[in-house]
């Protein structure tokens, strides 16, 4: 990979933030918590039909996870409700407990983009955005929101992005990596146009239900396989964005890939470069080696932290990706949570630490 120019450079004054967590999952005490944010029509609809996504089971995933609510045992609030549903406890255990200056909410409930009923999808996206404000952003100034947008319905997604963009408490647009078609396809471009026009980055958190088999090899039997397949989906999304020419069209577009880890990034860039070198006449709109777009337009959050044996091998990975592209995340309250005190098993310089734990996120979100 060549040393390409990057969109953002480390900033001098970032003392305001020492620790930014780019992946916190807010939850609801009960699903009825969404009701104040939905019209009667959609409350009735949910009561009668429930959600309707592109998968076999209607209320859960068909690869059961290993712990209830995919969550740490100690994250269940003493006052009741599932992990992430109790703001006072989230504050105490997570924000105060770890000294987090800024936490970015990544709401996964109700899966708006995965809904097959197009109007229900929009109603849920709007409701989840209002719920973030009402439950978390109003009462807690350290929390920031993600704009849920309906990827399968770009016109509605753009309308919702436009509506939320002036509320600076929303830091990003949240899209699911698993969709009916790969993200780079042209029908999604209005979403990129809106993102760039509002200077909002797009965040892709693992998950989504696009209706396709979870791996290119077919449906896996086990969660250990399905867990890994999330990384491969991110790889496919990145290939789509690059080979469709999205970054040629929208050079200012910034994306982060959340909860996919990052050790796969360098070799994936090399693989794309090699294939592109052989077949670039198929995609003449891709002007530069794919790894250059990867280096310039895409960021990664750190959890689940990579744990090579020996640990020092991670040093090469960090060097190849660039420590300016990694943003710390905990995935609170999920079971494979990373603690900022223990996550990195390799030594980082003071500058690298400052960048990964806060500075890169400041640049990515444009907080300065």
Partner 1 sequence: MNEMIRSLDSKPALSTVGAIDCDLHPASPATAALMPYLDEYWRETFIMRGVDRMSLAMTASPPRSPINVRSDWKAKSGFAGDTLEAVRAQALDPFGTRLAICNVLNGAMIMHSDDMAAALCGAVNEWLAREWLDKEPRLRGSIIVSAQNADLAVAEIEKRVADNRFVQILILAQNDEPLGRRRYWPIYEAAARNRLPVCIHAGGSNRHAPTATGWPSFFVEAYVAQGSIFESQLLSLVAEGVFHKVPDLKVVCAESGFTWLPSFFWRADKTWRGVRAETPWVTEQPSDIVKRHVRFTLQPVEAPLETDALTRTLEHVDCDDILLFSTDYPHAQFEGLNALPAALGETLARKIMIGNPLATYPRIAADFAKEVAK
Q: Which of 24, 16, 366, 15 is nearest to 195 (CA)?
A: 366
Window 56-95: contact mask with partner 1 (x via CB under 8 A): ----------x-----------------------------
The DSSP 8-state label assigned to residue 125 in this structure reads H
Site residues for partner 1, 339-368, by CB under 8 A, read none
Instruction: Identify the sign of the CA torsion 204, 208, 210, 213.
Output: positive
Indicate which single residue of 100, 183, 202, 318 sits in contact with partner 1 (rule: CB under 8 A).
183
Tell me if 273 contacts partner 1 by CB under 8 A.
yes
Which range binds partner 1 by CB under 8 A, 31-39, 73-81, 130-138, 174-182? 174-182
Cα distances from 265 to residues 2, 236, 262, 316, in angstroms, run 15, 12, 6, 12
What is the strand order of the sheet 326-327 is part of? 20-24, 102-105, 143-148, 170-175, 202-205, 255-258, 298-301, 326-327
Q: Which range in 25-33, 100-108, 130-138, 272-280 contacts partner 1 by CB under 8 A?
A: 272-280
Classify residue 280 as left (phi > 0), alpha (psi -120 to 50) or beta.
alpha
CA dist 265 and 235 (Å) reads 8
Which one, 163 or 186, has the nearer CB to partner 1?
186
CB of 19 to partner 1, least distance (A): 23
Beta carbons of 353 and 324 less than 8 angstroms apart = no
Residues 320 to 339: which contact partner 1 by CB under 8 A? 320, 335-336
CB of 291 to partner 1, least distance (A): 8
Distance CA 109, CA 123 (A): 13
Nearest Cα neighbor of 114 from 148, 78, 82, 69 is: 148
* Pair of tokens at residue 362: 């400041």
219 in contact with partner 1 (CB under 8 A): yes
Q: Does 263 bind partner 1 (CB under 8 A)?
A: yes
According to CB under 8 A, which one of 217, 252, 287, 339 is a site residue for partner 1?
217
Which is closer to partner 1, CB of 3 or CB of 59? Answer: 3
Residue closer to partner 1 (CB basis): 148 or 286: 286
In angstroms, rounded to a whole number, what is the distance separating the alpha carbons of residues 214 and 56?
A: 13
51 binds partner 1 (CB under 8 A): no
For partner 1, give the closer residue by CB, 44 or 282: 282
Residue with tokens 């992946």: 23
Which of 313, 339, 347, 368 contacts partner 1 by CB under 8 A?
Answer: 313
Letters for 281-310 (x = contact with partner 1 by CB under 8 A, - = none) are: xxx--------------------x-xxxx-
Shortest distance in whole angstroms from residue 165 CB to partner 1: 26
In order of 19, 281, 358, the CA distances from 339 in angstroms are 12, 46, 15
**β-pairing, 102-105 with 143-148?**
parallel
Least separation in angstroms between residue 264's CB and partner 1 is: 4
* Minimum CB distance to partner 1, residue 290 (Å): 8
CA distances from 143 to 21, 134, 254 (A): 10, 12, 21
Residues 227-256 that bind partner 1 (CB under 8 A): 227-229, 231-233, 235-237, 239-240, 243-244
277 touches partner 1 (CB under 8 A): yes
Q: Which is nearer to partner 1, 166 or 221 (CB)?
A: 221
């Amino acid at each position: 990979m060549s040393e390409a120019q990057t969109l953002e450079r480390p900033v001098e004054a970032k003392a305001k933030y020492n620790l930014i967590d780019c992946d916190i999952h807010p939850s609801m005490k009960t699903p009825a918590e969404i009701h104040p944010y939905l019209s009667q029509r959609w409350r009735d609809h949910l009561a009668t039909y429930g959600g309707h996504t592109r998968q076999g089971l209607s209320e859960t995933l068909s690869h059961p996870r290993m712990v209830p609510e995919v969550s740490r045992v100690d994250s269940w609030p003493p006052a009741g409700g599932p992990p992430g549903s109790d703001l006072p406890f989230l504050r105490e255990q997570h924000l105060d407990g770890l000294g987090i200056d800024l936490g970015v909410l990544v709401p996964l409930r109700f899966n708006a983009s995965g809904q097959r009923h197009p109007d229900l999808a929009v109603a849920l996206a709007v409701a989840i955005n209002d719920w973030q404000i009402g439950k978390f952003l109003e009462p807690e100034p350290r929390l920031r929101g993600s704009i849920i947008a309906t990827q399968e319905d770009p016109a509605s997604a753009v309308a919702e992005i436009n509506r939320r963009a002036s509320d600076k408490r929303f830091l990003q647009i949240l899209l699911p990596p698993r969709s009916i078609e790969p993200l780079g396809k042209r029908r999604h471009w209005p979403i990129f146009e809106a993102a760039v026009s509002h200077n909002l980055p797009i965040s892709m958190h693992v998950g989504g239900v696009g209706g396709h088999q979870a791996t290119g090899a077919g449906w896996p039997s086990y969660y250990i396989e399905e867990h890994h397949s999330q990384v491969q989906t991110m790889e496919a999304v990145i290939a789509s964005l690059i080979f469709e020419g999205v970054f040629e069209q929208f050079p200012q577009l910034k994306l982060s890939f959340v909860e996919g880890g990052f050790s796969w990034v360098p070799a994936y860039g090399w693989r794309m470069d090699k294939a592109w070198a052989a077949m670039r006449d198929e995609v003449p709109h891709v002007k530069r080696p794919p790894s250059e777009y990867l280096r310039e337009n895409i960021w990664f959050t750190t959890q689940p932290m990579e744990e090579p044996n020996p640990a020092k091998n991670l040093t090469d990975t960090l060097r190849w990706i660039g420590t300016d592209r990694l943003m710390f995340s905990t995935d609170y309250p999920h079971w494979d949570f990373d603690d900022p005190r223990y996550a990195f098993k390799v030594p980082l310089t003071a500058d690298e630490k400052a960048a990964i734990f806060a500075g890169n996120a400041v640049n990515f979100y444009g907080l300065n």
